[in-house]
Amino acid sequence: MAINPLAPEWLSLPADANALADGLWPISATRNADGELVVGGVSASALAAEFGTPLYVIDETDARTRATELRTAFETEFARIGGAVRVYYAGKALLTTEIARWMVADGLNIDICTGGELAVALAAGVDPARLGFHGNNKSLAEIDQATRVGIGTIVIDSPIEIDRVAAAAARNGIVQAVRLRVNSGVHAHTHEFLATAHEDQKFGVVLEDAPHLVAAIRAKESLRFTGLHCHIGSQIFGAEGFAESASRLLAVHAGLLADGPVPELNLGGGFGIAYTSADTPTPVPELAARLADIVSVECARRGIPIPTVAFEPGRVIIGPAGVTLYEVGTVKPVEVSLGSPSRSATRLYVSVDGGMSDNPRPALYGADYSVRIAGRVSDADPALVRIAGKHCESGDIVVDADYLPADVAPGDLVAVAATGAYCWSLSSNYNYQGRAPIVAVKDGSARMLVRGETIADLLARDAGLATGRAGRDTTTDEGIL
């Protein structure tokens, strides 16, 4: 079997197109005696039979182990340099009430960025003091609610928010702890980072403005300044971007100490994960050690105490814990010209029963993923496949390129790895596809975290139907089909 010339350079021909590559699948993922994918002790066919497809499957043990290991690694490394850390789980990656409770039980705080995420955390019973609230356009109502419920910290994102948060805190009779989000001019993604004087983006304030904005915050009786905050990007594999950013922030942080306490420094999230075998993110313990070293060196260089350093990772905790199951509907070989009429190669289009509505990341960012047949193994030769969704967009691709056994066929269950982060949370109802359910698997059993949306759910919001077509039964799928 030769490499398909249509395959991207990074994709190598697997020795076994059934194999679950190391580092891509949840910790518990394995194949049972029938060759089926099993996650959290539950087989793919059992999950599909009980909950249908598409289906988001979260390995609870995997997510919680990663959360605990990350927190422990950072606590250990920062204790080594005489400091302390506070780890927030970035709820935007995937937030349900149960996931919020896992994270808090495992010693993490929760980072939210809308009133909706705040509502989920509160509904989960999370102590508001453990919440950090950021976002570039928090509404007055969101700010008011946050201060009223006693939220831990609010990240001020623009000068206009100083007055807004101060007024809300005063109205609610509290002194609100706030951070100031700065734009460090460092933007990082995978192996590279870009460092400029200013970044042309919507988040935060330029670093040079921090001193006078912090002075304005300190002048408000209802605000307590705790430190600077930044977030330099996502899916970052190395520590260098964080190092540059920490160095730039600590230079300003040191100056701020002249006029009052600055107990914290928040370096955001963004730690990368492997979506394909070609991805090589720095392991979390190594990242923790390097970041602790950087903070230690930078603080020593400036002769300042080490602040409590906060981090807000999301993807690295929940991303690898998730798998999406789909059923294959159609399989279609497409002959693709290689530049001359006589040269072509075949790409196998495998269409599944979901797509950009449950995972828009490939369409949004060109994100790559990995796929395996989940219901069986096969000794057919590997064929280059593209997993396509069912939506009316040619860019509706779930997995741009991977190899699957060439006999992949309608009715097969397939699993896409590392879909725990930013898939369900970015999902949509495009083409009136109801959002898929999320289930948690653990120790051989599965339970629903969020049920899927039915057509009845979607039609229930259609005002035209309520008034114009009164009397029609819209409470069941049957009623409208």
Nearest residue to 87 (alpha-carbon basis) of 61, 58, 59, 67: 67
> Cα separation of 409 and 389, whole Å?
15
Neighbours of 335 (CB within 10 A): 8
Rank residues 132 and 405 by Cβ distance to ligand PLP and give the closer one: 132
CB within 8 Å of 82: residues ≥ 6 apart:
296, 306
Q: Binding mask 50-89 vs ligand PLP (x if CB under 6 A, - otherwise)?
A: ----------------------------------------
Binders in 234-263 for ligand PLP, by CB under 6 A: 234
Min CB(236)–ligand PLP separation in Å: 8
Min CB(347)–ligand PLP separation in Å: 31
> Cα separation of 339 and 218, whole Å?
65
Helix axes 60-80, 284-302, angle to 10 degrees: 30
Rank residues 157 and 412 by Cβ distance to ligand PLP and give the closer one: 157
Rank residues 44 and 112 by Cβ distance to ligand PLP and give the closer one: 112
Rank residues 87 and 415 by Cβ distance to ligand PLP and give the closer one: 87
Min CB(314)–ligand PLP separation in Å: 3
**Binding test (CB under 6 A) with ligand PLP, winner from 60, 62, 264, 312:** 312
The string of DSSP letters for 47-113 reads HHHHH-SSEEEEEHHHHHHHHHHHHHHHHHHHHHTT--EEEEEETTS---HHHHHHHHHTT-EEEE-
Q: Binding mask 105-124 vs ligand PLP (x if CB under 6 A, - otherwise)?
A: ------x-------------
- Is 90 among the residues that bind ligand PLP (CB under 6 A)? yes
446 — alpha (psi -120 to 50), left (phi > 0) or beta? beta
Stretch that binds ligand PLP, among 20-28, 294-302, 313-321, 465-473 (CB under 6 A): 313-321
Number of residues near ligand PLP (by CB under 6 A): 17
Rank residues 25 and 203 by Cβ distance to ligand PLP and give the closer one: 203
> Cα separation of 104 and 131, whole Å?
10
Looking at 113, 230, 299, 392, which residue is catalytic? 392
- Is 147 among the residues that bind ligand PLP (CB under 6 A)? no
Q: Binding mask 183-222 vs ligand PLP (x if CB under 6 A, - otherwise)?
A: ----------------------------------------
Binders in 402-441 for ligand PLP, by CB under 6 A: 421
Min CB(93)–ligand PLP separation in Å: 5
**Binding test (CB under 6 A) with ligand PLP, winner from 64, 71, 86, 231:** 231
Min CB(432)–ligand PLP separation in Å: 28
DSSP state of 435: P
Nearest residue to 298 (alpha-carbon basis) of 86, 194, 210, 290: 290
Three-class secondary structure assignment of 202-251: CCCEEHHHHHHHHHHHHCCCCEEEEEEECCCEEEECCCHHHHHHHHHHHH
Min CB(181)–ligand PLP separation in Å: 7
Rank residues 114 and 277 by Cβ distance to ligand PLP and give the closer one: 114
Q: Binding mask 264-283 vs ligand PLP (x if CB under 6 A, - otherwise)?
A: ----xxxx------------
Stretch that binds ligand PLP, among 35-43, 171-179, 309-317, 374-382 (CB under 6 A): 309-317
Binders in 127-146 for ligand PLP, by CB under 6 A: 134
Q: Binding mask 18-47 vs ligand PLP (x if CB under 6 A, - otherwise)?
A: ------------------------------
Neighbours of 325 (CB within 10 A): 29
**Antiparallel, parallel or unpaired: β 438-442 and 397-405:** unpaired
> In the β-sheet with 233-236, what is the strand arrangement from edge to edge?
192-195, 186-190, 233-236
**Binding test (CB under 6 A) with ligand PLP, winner from 24, 93, 310, 404:** 93
Rank residues 26 and 314 by Cβ distance to ligand PLP and give the closer one: 314
Place of tokens 């979607």: 458
> Cα separation of 105 and 124, whole Å?
12
Rank residues 155 and 252 by Cβ distance to ligand PLP and give the closer one: 155
The vertex-304 CA angle with 301 and 305, nearest 5°, equals 125
**Binding test (CB under 6 A) with ligand PLP, winner from 315, 372, 386, 391:** 315
Min CB(180)–ligand PLP separation in Å: 13
Rank residues 134 and 390 by Cβ distance to ligand PLP and give the closer one: 134
> Cα separation of 321 and 312, whole Å?
17
- Is 314 among the residues that bind ligand PLP (CB under 6 A)? yes
Rank residues 272 and 382 by Cβ distance to ligand PLP and give the closer one: 272
Helix axes 240-256, 284-302, angle to 10 degrees: 30
Q: Is 392 a catalytic residue?
A: yes
DSSP state of 306: P
Neighbours of 129 (CB within 10 A): 12
H or E element at residue 200: none
> Cα separation of 350 and 411, whole Å?
11
Nearest residue to 28 (alpha-carbon basis) of 52, 55, 57: 57
Give contact residues for ligand PLP (rule: CB under 6 A): 90, 92-93, 111, 134, 231, 234, 268-271, 312-316, 421
**Which residues does the annotation mark as catalytic?**
392
